Chain A
C-alpha cells in the first residue's frame, strides 16, 4: 500500500498571524513538503492544478520535475490533472517527458475542475465537463499507446498522423486514476478502462466515497478486469495531530474555523463527525484511517491533505514527522496484514512493465504452440 500527501496549493492567510505567505514562499513550501515526504518514508507526493488565485500550482510538471530531480524514491502524482480544460495532447507530452526524467516515478489523477469561470479561459464550458473528461481522456490514452494517431472529436482540432513525443518510458504510459466526488459517470469511466479510482474523501461525508467506490468496483468487474475487490482504489484524508489530542484540537481550531471550503460553517466537532477529518493524537489517526477499509474494502493508496488553510510550513513539517514516524509504519503493517493475496498492490512503473512483459511472454508462448 502506498501512503503520501496531496496538496491543493492554496495561498491562505494564517489566521493566527493574519499574514498570507507570498506565492514564492508557498511554492517553495510545497517543494519542502515533498522533500520531507520522501525523508520520512512516505511514498507519494501529489500536487493540485489550478489556474486561478488563491492557488499557485498552475504548472504541475514544472513543480514535479523539480521535485523529481531532488528525490530518489518518491512517486509524483497530481491531485488532480484537469482533463477538461487541458489539451490532451499537451498532457500526453508533458507527463511522458516527466515520466522519463523521473525514471517512471509518475502517475496522474484525472479530475474535471469545478470552477465555472476557468473553463472559458481555456475555450471550454463547464456544462460539458463530463463529455470533455470522456473525450479528452480517450484521446490521451491513444496518444500514449499508438505511435501514430489519426483522430477527430468534438472538442479539439483533428489530428492527422500525429505522434506524441517523447513516447512513454519503456513503452508503458503512466498509471491513471480518475477522481470524482459524486459523478457516477467518472467511476464508470475508471472501471471501463481498468484504471484506478481516487476518492477525494475530504470535505465530504464518507457515504459519498462508499457509494462511488462501490459502483466503481462493481463496474470494474463488469468490464472484465478482475473481481470487484481487485479494482485499484485510492483515498484522500485530512488529519491534524499532536501527541495530546486536546493540543491538536486547540491548535487546529483557528485554521479550521477560517479555512477555505468549510470555514465559518460547521463546528470542528460536527465536521470531524460528518467527514473523514481527524484531529487528535497519532493513535486516533491510526484508528480512524484503519476504519476506512471497512467501507471501501482493501485499497491501494492513502493520501493525506496536510498543508492547507494557512498552516505554517514549520507546523506542516512537524505533522509529516508524526505521519512518517508514528502513523504510516503502523498503517502499512496493519493494512498489509489485512489485505488478501488476490488483491493487487499499488501500481508502480516497474510493476506495469513487468505485467506488460508477462502478457507478451504469454502471448508469444501461445503463438509458438
Chain B
C-alpha cells in the first residue's frame, strides 16, 4: 500500500474558522478518493495562525524557527497540498502570501495543489483564479482545475448534498488523481547538498 501525505494549509484567522472547515472537508474528500485507489493517507493540518509570528520573523531574519522549519518541511515533503485562504481585499490574505513567500521557490515544483477560499460574498470567488492560481503557477505547482470558493450562502444550505459538497468532492477527486499518478514525494530538498564540483565551477559550467 502506498503511503501518501497531504499538507493542508489554512490561513483562516478566526477560531473556529470556516476556512479551516473548508480545508478539512477538501482534505477528507482527497483522502477518501486516494484510499479508494489503495493508498494509505496521512493528513497534516497546518493552521498558519499558529505560526504567524514565526512567519514574520522569518521574513525579517531570513531563517525559520525550528517550529516553522518543521512546517515548511511538511509542505515541501507532502505528496499533495490543500491551500485555503480567506479572501481579503480581493486577494489571498497577507498571512497566506507571507507563508508561501518563505517556502523555498523550488519546493513546490511538480507538487499537485488544490486551491480554495472563503469570503463574505460570492463576488470574491474569482480571486482564486486571478490571485491564488497564478501564485502557484509561478511556483510551478500543478493546480487542479476545480478551485473551491465557499460564500456564506454555501454554508447556509445545510444538507449533505449541496452544490458546495459536490464541488468539494470533485476537487478532492482531482487532487487525488494528480497525487496518484505521481511517485511518492522524496521529501524536502537539502539546501546544503553540493550539486557540482570545483572543476565544473572553475570551468564556468552551469550546474546541471
Binding site for B on A (CB under 8 A): 130-131, 134-135, 138, 154, 182, 184-185, 187-189, 191-192, 203-205, 208, 211-212, 215, 219, 223, 261-262, 264-266, 270-271, 274
Contact of B61 among A135, A138, A261 (CB under 8 A): A261
Say yes or no: A212 contacts B61, CB within 8 Å.
no
Residues of B within 8 A of A271 (CB): 61
Cα distance A143–B75 in the bound complex, in angstroms? 48
Cα distance A223–B197 in the bound complex, in angstroms? 11
Contact of A215 among B192, B196, B202 (CB under 8 A): B192
Residues of A within 8 A of B195 (CB): 184
B residues contacting the other copy or chain, number (CB 8 A): 19
Cα distance A264–B53 in the bound complex, in angstroms? 11
Say yes or no: B201 contacts A188, CB within 8 Å.
yes
Cα distance A264–B61 in the bound complex, in angstroms? 10
B14 within 8 A of A: no
B204 within 8 A of A: yes
Say yes or no: A203 contacts B201, CB within 8 Å.
no
Say yes or no: B194 contacts A188, CB within 8 Å.
yes
Binding site for A on B (CB under 8 A): 56-57, 60-63, 65-66, 191-198, 201-202, 204
Say yes or no: A208 contacts B194, CB within 8 Å.
no
Say yes or no: A270 contacts B198, CB within 8 Å.
no
Say yes or no: B63 contacts A208, CB within 8 Å.
yes
**A266-B204 CB under 8 A given contacts A182-B191, A185-B196:** no
Say yes or no: B192 contacts A211, CB within 8 Å.
yes
Using CB atoms, name the residue of chain A closest to B205.
A131
**A184-B66 CB under 8 A given contacts A203-B61, A262-B61:** no
Using CB atoms, name the residue of chain B closest to A184.
B194
Using CB atoms, name the residue of chain A closest to B198.
A192
Say yes or no: A265 contacts B57, CB within 8 Å.
yes
Residues of A within 8 A of B62 (CB): 203-204
**A262-B60 CB under 8 A given contacts A130-B201, A154-B204:** yes
Contact of A135 among B60, B196, B204 (CB under 8 A): B204
Residues of A within 8 A of B57 (CB): 265-266, 270
**A265-B60 CB under 8 A given contacts A134-B202, A185-B201, A189-B201:** yes
Cα distance A203–B56 in the bound complex, in angstroms? 16
Given pairs A131-B201, A270-B57, 10 additional interface contacts (CB within 8 A): A130-B201, A182-B192, A185-B194, A185-B201, A204-B63, A219-B194, A223-B198, A262-B60, A266-B61, A271-B61
Say yes or no: B197 contacts A274, CB within 8 Å.
no
Residues of B within 8 A of A211 (CB): 192
Cα distance A271–B66 in the bound complex, in angstroms? 11
Q: Whole-angstrom distance from the CB of B208 to the nearest CB of chain A?
A: 14
Residues of B within 8 A of A266 (CB): 57, 60-61, 65
Contact of A212 among B192, B196, B201, B204 (CB under 8 A): B192
Using CB atoms, name the residue of chain A closest to B58.
A265
Cα distance A188–B204 in the bound complex, in angstroms? 14
